[in-house]
Structure 1
Amino acid sequence: MAEQPGALVIEDSADVRRMLCELLRMAGFDVSEAATGAQGLDLVGKVRPDLVTLDLMLPDMDGIEVCRRLRSMTTAYVIMLTGRAEETDRLIGLEVGADDYMTKPFSPRELRARVAAMFRRPRTAEQPGTDGKPKIITFGDLVIDEESREVHLAGRPVALTRTEFDLLVALASNPRRVWERETLTRRIWHTDWPGNDHAIDVHIANLRRKLGDDARSSRWVRTVHGVGYRFGGQ
């Protein structure tokens, strides 16, 4: 029997927190909850969640800072939830490691659909090779282990979020293919959600930075102007 996934709800509004906990329990999660950022960070090490929903406006600390600290502690999927609709807030959230971002008020049905899409991704990425052995993608000094979801560059581990890892696998698995942004969105999130126009660009920028690429010399992830992205390591 598969182990029940864990979720952590970090939300200061008691009503919203109650709704999120009920929604995630109905989706099959073992749910823990916190009303402040400090409580949430303390719980992460204890419950080791697979998913975190994070309110951006917390009473004790900014949600952006909570997300930044979360990323040093866990590879869990992080969905930011906030009443602030400014694009800048959304992009900063993605830059510090959030996997997705929803603006309040949000549809519980849509949130559940997004969570379900996220948890379909690891099963796709961890398929073994045709010989039954775990698939390892190697290009020069870049090694991508799909089973352990680990990446090494020149012998050193590269700490990627789940979304960054899935993007890298998509690109490296089809090194000659040019990916349109819309196609990558469908591949990574299994949907055509509106408002994600810049999400792929932000995650790609984070991936490039961690792989040592820069805007003028992208060794691993290259931009095809007017189209999208392709892998550059072949």
Structure 2
Amino acid sequence: MAHTAILIIDDDTQICELLTDIFDEHGYHTFVAQNATEALSILQSNSDIALILLDLILPDINGLVLLQQLRAIKNLPIIMLSGLDSESDIVVGLEMGADDYIAKPFYPRVVVARVKAAIRRSQPLPFSTEYQSTGFLFNKWFLDVENHKLFSPQKHEVVLTQGEYTLLYALVLNAQKMLSRQKLLELTHSENFEIFDRTIDVLIMRLRKKIEPNPKNPTFIQTVRGTGYLFNSMVEKI
């Protein structure tokens, strides 16, 4: 049986070696590319790649441009690797569909945990007509808090990134309450995931596209002008 494979795209040899070693210890196979040409070639010729780690600074192309090219080939989870001083690139990357980001320098164990979570989220679970997990119901949507998954009223899974899930959980848990951006930052910050002030608005936009009948006129996640956001729905815990 083939091992789950990860494509690491980074021109820093030391980082590639570190990540290769740590993923090997956890049973993953890795492919390494140090530029865009290598990355595209590897992705097109290896069907067992389950996730991509993408450095935003590459020698031959802007990482955000490569992000779009990778997305056009395969719909895989993509986690950006970024320096702490590149908040604007992170925001743009999230807007363009990256699933997550990891700031450099990073702890190897945190990278492994984030990769495992992203791969797990990308693999749909069989779902019966009865809810088997604990979570929250709102307007026939179900937020599964055990598996960090969201299901539509038609019982279809709607894939969420870690940032989207964390934010939606905070909103649902505080339904009918106005939450400022600062409060949302406090509720969504954790050891494994940092959200900048500007990414709150990006993640709100992405959640609206996934759950709102009309994202431009939202029913669930409403903007309280000059203040923050309100999750406007009755929520039932089950």
TM-score (norm 2): 0.65
Q: Does 1:74 align with 2:64?
A: no
For 2:110, the aligned partner's letter is A
Match of 1:7 in 2: 6
Q: Does 1:30 align with 2:61?
A: no
Q: How far off is 1:37 after superposition? A: 1.9
Structure 2 Cα separation of the partners of residues 83 and 168 of structure 1: 23
Structure 1 Cα separation of the partners of residues 76 and 136 of structure 2: 20
Match of 2:204 in 1: 204
Match of 2:17 in 1: 18
Q: How far off is 1:54 after superposition? A: 0.6
Q: Is the 8 A contact 1:85 1:103 kept in 2?
A: no
Change (3 A) 1:82 1:182: closer
Q: Does 1:44 align with 2:43?
A: yes
Q: Provide the aligned length of Structure 1 versus Structure 2.
A: 218
- The superposition leaves residues 69-118 of structure 1 with CA deviations (integer Å, 9 ceiling, x where unpaired) of 33342231x222245823222211221122333444x13x2x53144146
Partner of 1:74, secondary structure, is coil
Match of 1:181 in 2: 184
Q: How far off is 1:33 after superposition? A: 1.6
Q: Which runs of 5+ in 1 are unaligned?
A: none
For 1:21, the aligned partner's letter is T
Higher deviation after alignment, 41-50 or 88-97: 41-50
Higher deviation after alignment, 128-137 or 65-74: 128-137
Q: Which runs of 5+ in 2 are unaligned?
A: none
Match of 1:221 in 2: 221
Match of 2:113 in 1: 116
Match of 2:58 in 1: 58
Partner of 1:69, secondary structure, is helix
- The superposition leaves residues 114-138 of structure 1 with CA deviations (integer Å, 9 ceiling, x where unpaired) of 4414634757x96978956589967
Percent identity reads 25
Q: How far off is 1:18 after superposition? A: 1.8
For 1:213, the aligned partner's letter is P
Q: Is the 8 A contact 1:151 1:158 kept in 2?
A: yes
Q: What CA RMSD, in Å, does the superposition of the two structures yield over aligned residues? A: 4.4
For 2:184, the aligned partner's letter is R
